[in-house]
């Protein structure tokens, strides 16, 4: 016959060595449970797919139980960047660096974020943003700690000229330098009309032929309020786009040191040879005019150039290739533009 015995909880005793083991094995600040690992893995997948709201929600859920996790603060900073929340991103990066300032990945993410913020400041203040300004990392002996993967984030650059979004636009002729090989005025007007029509929600007035501008200096033209008001009364636009335009072609052929493959040895050798090539230069100063008030709202100078081999290049093709990049800059004046950059996300 078997005798069942009840053991009183008071009689249960754990050896001190076992208790010490439990204490030593307790999770540290970067340890996560199985449930959290699944959450973090899912959040990483969402970040890689560009679903930043979902990724941010998951990371914040884990952070609630692990507030000192520098990797989570880094990831949330990247999510805040992608969502356009610059102040939150700045706070998150500062917290990540405070907790783990010697981490190379966090330092590099913060450095790239700082470059973007500086570019954004210059953009909003109308300064030249064509050249990047170097910003050094946080400092210290950086170490590549943690498993990461690279993501591409789209960082919204707000427009320099803020509009309501339903304004009508009239593109008129530009003051231009006459060229013998291309009617750049006609092509520029056509190109900008198409860009505004296809890439914005604004109404584009199709006035043919486009109204001509008075033969005046740039400053006199900008100050000619009666001319702009006349166009408003005649055609009814809210905004008028015009400016000054130039497109030049230059033969820059000459002797250059070039690498060629030897027909006898098959090795690359450097030789001096005569190279035929042309430089095409494109410059435009664009004006946005408040038609009703007859006053300038915004003006900007843009320029591009291209060097092409040969001396019989098609100027029309080159003009449109350069116009496409110019149009992107003009559109950025009145609409948000996405700037792509890379960051390193911790995946655990």
DSSP 242-296: EEEEEEEEEE--EEEEEEEE-TTT--EEEEEEEE-EEEEEEEEEEEEEETTTTEE
Low-confidence ranges of the chain (pLDDT < 50): 1-29, 34
For the chain, how many helices (H) and strands (E)?
A: 10, 10
| Contact present, 30 and 15 (Cβ < 8 Å) | no
- The DSSP H or E segment spanning 52 is helix 52-63
| Contact present, 331 and 337 (Cβ < 8 Å) | yes
**How far, in whole angstroms, is CA 23 from its chain's centroid?**
49
Q: Output the average pLDDT for the chain.
A: 83
Owner of token pair 């990066």: 93
Residue 91 is encoded by which pair of tokens?
A: 């706070």
DSSP 94-159: HHHHHH-TTBHHHHHHHHHHHHHHHHHHHHHTT---SS------S-S--B--S-EEEEEEEEEE--
Q: Which CATH number fits domain 168-336: 3.30.160, 3.30.70, 3.30.870, 1.10.3210?
A: 3.30.160
- Measured at the CA of 174, the angle between CA 168 and CA 175, to 5 degrees, comes to 150
Q: Residue 181's pLDDT is what? A: 63
Let me know if domain 30-156 sits in CATH 1.25.40.10.
yes
What confidence tens digit (pLDDT) does each residue in 174-191 have? 988 766 667 888 888 988
Domain boundaries, the chain: 30-156, 168-336
| Contact present, 255 and 292 (Cβ < 8 Å) | no
Q: Residue 18's pLDDT is what? A: 41
């Amino acid at each position: 016959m078997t005798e069942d015995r009840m053991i009183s909880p008071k009689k249960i005793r754990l050896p001190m060595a076992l208790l010490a083991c439990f204490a030593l094995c307790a999770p540290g600040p970067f340890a996560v449970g199985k449930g959290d690992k699944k959450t973090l893995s899912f959040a990483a997948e969402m970040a890689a797919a560009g679903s930043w709201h979902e990724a941010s929600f998951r990371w914040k859920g884990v952070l609630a139980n692990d507030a000192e996790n520098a990797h989570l603060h880094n990831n949330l900073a990247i999510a805040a960047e992608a969502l356009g929340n610059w102040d939150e991103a700045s706070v998150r990066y500062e917290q990540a660096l405070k907790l783990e300032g010697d981490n190379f990945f966090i330092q590099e993410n913060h450095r790239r974020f700082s470059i973007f913020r500086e570019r954004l400041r210059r953009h909003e203040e109308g300064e030249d943003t064509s050249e990047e300004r170097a910003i050094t990392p946080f400092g210290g002996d950086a170490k590549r700690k943690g498993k990461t993967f690279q993501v591409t984030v789209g960082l919204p650059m707000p427009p320099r000229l803020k509009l309501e979004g339903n304004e009508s636009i009239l593109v008129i002729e530009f003051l231009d330098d006459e060229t013998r090989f291309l009617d750049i005025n006609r092509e520029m007007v056509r190109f900008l009309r198409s860009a505004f029509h296809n890439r914005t929600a604004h109404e584009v007035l199709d006035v043919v032929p486009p109204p001509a501008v008075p033969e005046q200096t740039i400053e006199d033209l900008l100050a000619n309020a009666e001319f702009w008001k006349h166009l408003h009364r005649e055609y009814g636009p809210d905004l008028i786009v015009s400016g000054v335009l130039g497109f030049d072609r230059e033969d820059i052929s000459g002797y250059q040191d070039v690498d060629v493959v030897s027909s006898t040895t098959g090795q690359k050798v450097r030789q001096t040879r005569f190279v035929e090539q042309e430089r095409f230069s494109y410059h435009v100063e664009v004006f946005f005019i408040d038609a009703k008030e007859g006053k300038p709202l915004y003006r900007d100078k843009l320029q591009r150039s291209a060097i092409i081999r040969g001396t019989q290049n098609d100027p029309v093709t080159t003009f449109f290739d350069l116009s496409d990049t110019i149009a992107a800059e003009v559109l950025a004046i009145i609409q948000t533009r996405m700037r792509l950059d890379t960051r390193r996300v911790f995946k655990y």
